[in-house]
Amino acid sequence: MITLQSSDKDVFEIEQSILIQSGTIKNMVEDDFTFIPLPSVDTETLIKIIEYMKKHADKTDSKEKNIKEFDKDFMKKTLNELFALVFAANYLHISSLLELLYPSIADRIKDKITEAIRQIFSIRCDFTPEEERRIIMDNKWAHEGTEIEGTLD
């Protein structure tokens, strides 16, 4: 059993076999650590990470559909929760979780109009009014039935 300590000083005892899905923890276990402090992961996020690893520990064929359903539901979180998870998964080197998080975060961007994207992600628009005008006129490649003006630059 390995003990993990969150940044909020909460401790969790988990089987080694589950935790080795984290490359970082695996390395520390191989160096004979049994108590692993994680100062950059808060309790809330650590609970979720443990939940994920527990579900993915048993990868027998029969569980595959089950795991896929779990993953789908697991990604239904707020953007801030996803950010916290991706930070933690990156630090802990849990590649399967990262591969799940990247497209999930991208999904919050796809199919949204520009202004909505800027608001959701708190991005400052740094285009000049002239550049903004050009974007609105030009960027219609993906949209139906509109002519795009082309000038030779």
Q: Which is nearer to another protein, 62 or 80 (CB)?
A: 80
Query: In the complex, what is the shortest distance from the CB of residue 151 to another protein, in angstroms, rounded to a whole number?
Result: 6
- Would you tell me which residues interact with another protein (CB under 8 A)? 80, 83, 86-87, 90, 102-103, 105-106, 109-110, 112, 114, 117-118, 121-127, 135, 138-153
d(CA 117, CA 121): 6
Q: Which is nearer to another protein, 69 or 138 (CB)?
A: 138
Query: In the complex, what is the shortest distance from the CB of residue 111 to another protein, in angstroms, rounded to a whole number?
Result: 8
Q: Which is nearer to another protein, 32 or 153 (CB)?
A: 153
d(CA 117, CA 49): 27
SS (H, E, C) 34-84: CEEECCCCCHHHHHHHHHHHHHHHCCCHHHHHHHHHHHHHHCCCCHHHHHH
